[in-house]
Chain A
Amino acid sequence: MANTFRTRLVNPRLGTYFGIFSSLLVALFLVLLILETLGTSDVFLRLGVLSVPLVLFAVIAISSFTRESGEYFAAGRRVPSAYSGLVLAISAIGGTGILAWTGLFFLNGFDAWCIFLGINTGLVVMGVGVAPYIRKTGAYTVPTFLARRFQSRLLRVTAASVFVVPMLLILTAELGMGLWAAGLLVDLSPLVLAAILTVVIILTVGFGGMRGLGWVGTAQAITVLIAIVVLAAMIGVVATNFPLSQFSYGPVLRAVGRLEVAQQIPIHKVSAFTFGLAGQGLEEVTRRFATPYGSVGPASFALATLSIAAGVAASPWLLPRNGTTVGVYEARKSLGWAIFFVGLVTLTLSALAVFMRDIVMQELVGRTAGDLPSWFLTLREKGLMDVHSQTGALSMMNFSFKRDGVLLALPLASGFPAIIGYTVLIAAIAASLAAASATIYAIATLLSEDIFNGLRWDPPADPFRLGVARIMSVVVMFLGIAFVAVVKTDPLQLFLWATGITSAAAFPIVILSIWWKRLTAAGAVASILTGFTIAVLAILARELVWLPLPSALLGVTGVLPAFIVAIIVSKLTPIPSKDVLEQVRDARVPGGETVYDRELRLHRLQKNASKS
């Protein structure tokens, strides 16, 4: 509403609610810590760490239930920018980020920054060039935005069909990572764990839609922040005498550098297009931490950054979050918050990786195979670490580490109580749930709004509309579980493929549709199909035959052709109609009512008038 004060729209008790949630979580961890010192059984502690946060998430999800489409698809457009940014950040990071990035920093050092820089840049581009305009149009999905911008149903269905593919990759990655972390936390069968996660996700997405995602996502993000920031503060105080270890681990990093020289870890320089980030298996530490381009070449580093950036900036699973903010100004601000939180989490993970390297180099290197500490033996039993040599003093090269297990290894290696390790796992599960829920919501909305109801401009009545969306979320959830059972690819690889495909299929068209008025519907359809086809064929071709680039970076090769095709086809087709141009002008100006909301309001008025 144009004449409503924005402060009135926001629930003033949000801070109180999430303060209570945070206190409950901290109290839970402290109680379990006390129980651990009193000798309570480990199974009980593990179940407590898993079940209580999940029950809290489920309660928040149930209390977010709604029957109104404005609430289900846009959380009533009254989410404050900091909360929106927090959920956006945790959905972009996901469980893959929490577990894999720590391992990448530990194993690849400097070269792992390319993923963070990609997401960071993607969020900046989204905030400056995409989000404010998507927010002004108010479309619930990216294909709806494109369809209304070009007044083309063909474009709507094409975009929806194409955008589902990268989102399914992200969903598979996040569910896979969440299940893996849950399997490490409790000794239950994968089927039972899948059922538990399914219930939480279906309650989150099916009951409240975007509203549920917003509030449960905030709780999940708080869980992640508490777990990893507290861990970093504890180790920071011990190692650097300063709790903000994100900014004080420099001396530890330099000490690691001196140990690397002493232990003769060589300086590697790989060729420009090498992309050798650690995979899911056990890998040795063969690179120095702060030395760049030991496993990723300079060209691949830049290409990976830009590919991830383009994929994130136009990601159909993250962009709908901007529709929940109070206005265009808040949508811009929420991206600033998202960058802040993504950076905070990544810097924390990089600090934890440096601390882990320090511990490994000080406590493992130089020992004999029969003299290894108990924490190492525990982690070896779990398959998270291994030692190759059985004779003589061990060097760094004699050890191998599982990328995704490094974060879990740190609290154990630091000698902290077991509960700290379990909180790290629940953080990874919470992040996976947040990212998986956001993706399931995005796919389900896309299927219900753009495919099932996509051929009609006027939306159906709320009960039917929400019913379809809820059913789709259940269908997509089971589809995701089926994919996890069949696809055994590395989650990080899936993430890189997804951002690569999105960069080629979605980025050119999302950017041009806002910044180039002359773009036509035919140009948009041709561009989406060109970008998607080139990206997918290049990735498949790399898997079958030799190509100069790794498949993780091949998706981005479709970006330039997609831009060129969009421009050429648009120039060859007639200038868009006055109505279309008026839509673009409207979307470019922050002032005035949200375009989609105004259309719905007028539609309702017309309907009421025709009834009476």
Chain B
Amino acid sequence: MLEREERKPYWRHTKLQMLASLVPFILLIVVLPLYAQELNSNKFLGFPLGYFLAGHGLWLMAIFTLATFVNRQDAIDHWHGANEDM
């Protein structure tokens, strides 16, 4: 159960977690494809590196971002007593 005085710290913590999860990911999504051509001269698993990172890499990054978010946000919920009581 979330105590009244815990509301503000909980929401501040949640906002920081949201920004920590979204800002680096969105920056990466916008910036990485711009350097794909330069990265393509390298190889990874037989793929041109820029192509691999823009497709497979950003997909794995999205999964990693959401997995860490779910884990960290759940920890925040428990820390402040805001978690579901199921």
Contacts and interface: CB of A to CB of B under 8 A. Distances in A.
Q: Do A and B come from one complex?
A: yes
Contacts of B45: 247-248, 250
Contacts of A249: 46-47
Contact of A292 (B15, B21, B36, B85): B36
Contact of A121 (B43, B50, B51, B62): B62
Contacts of A515: 15, 18
A332 interface: yes
Contact of A254 (B21, B46, B50, B85): B46
Contacts of B56: 246-247, 347
Task: Please tell me the size bucket of the interface on A.
Answer: 35 or more
A473 to B, nearest CB: 32
Nearest to B70: A332
Contact of B48 (A253, A333, A340, A590): A253
Given A3-B85, A121-B29, A336-B67, A589 B10 contact: yes
Contacts of A128: 18, 21-22, 65-66, 69
B23 to A, nearest CB: 11
A434 interface: no
A5 B45 CA distance: 44
A343 B10 contact: no
A417 interface: no
Contacts, number: 152
B30 interface: yes
Interface residues of B, number: 49
B48 A254 contact: yes
Interface in B30-86: 30, 33-34, 36-37, 40, 43-48, 50-52, 54-56, 58-59, 62-63, 65-67, 69-70, 73-74, 77, 81-86
Given A253-B51, A332-B73, A336-B70, A591 B82 contact: yes
A328 B46 CA distance: 41
Interface stretch (A170-178, A208-216, A301-309, A553-561): A301-309
A573 interface: no
A4 B84 CA distance: 11
A217 interface: no
Given A128-B22, A588-B11, A120 B84 contact: no
A49 interface: no
Nearest to B54: A113
Tell me what chain A mostly uses at the interface: helix, strand, loop, or mixed.
helix
Interface in A113-162: 113-114, 116-117, 120-121, 123-125, 127-129, 132
Interface in B11-28: 11, 14-15, 18, 21-22, 25-26
Q: Which of B25, B47, B51, B56 gathers the greatest number of chain A CB atoms within 10 Å? A: B51
Contact of B62 (A132, A306, A339): A339
A124 B65 contact: yes
Contacts of A110: 36, 51, 54
Q: Which of A123, A246, A292, A333 gathers the greatest number of chain B CB atoms within 10 Å? A: A292
Nearest to A5: B86
A250 B46 contact: yes
A327 interface: yes
A63 B54 CA distance: 43
Given A254-B48, A515-B15, A343 B86 contact: no
A291 B84 contact: no
Contact of A327 (B22, B63, B67, B84): B84
B25 A121 contact: yes
B18 to A, nearest CB: 6
A324 B86 CA distance: 16
A107 interface: no
Interface string A272-295: 000000000000000000111100
Contacts of A350: 55
7 contacts: A120-B58, A127-B66, A128-B22, A293-B37, A335-B66, A347-B59, A591-B2
Interface of A: 2-6, 110, 113-114, 116-117, 120-121, 123-125, 127-129, 132, 246-251, 253-254, 257, 290-293, 298, 301-302, 305-306, 309, 326-329, 332-333, 335-336, 339-340, 343, 346-347, 350, 515, 585, 588-592
Given A121-B62, A327-B86, A346-B59, 13 more contacts: A4-B86, A117-B29, A121-B29, A125-B22, A128-B65, A246-B56, A247-B45, A290-B51, A302-B33, A309-B29, A350-B55, A585-B7, A592-B84
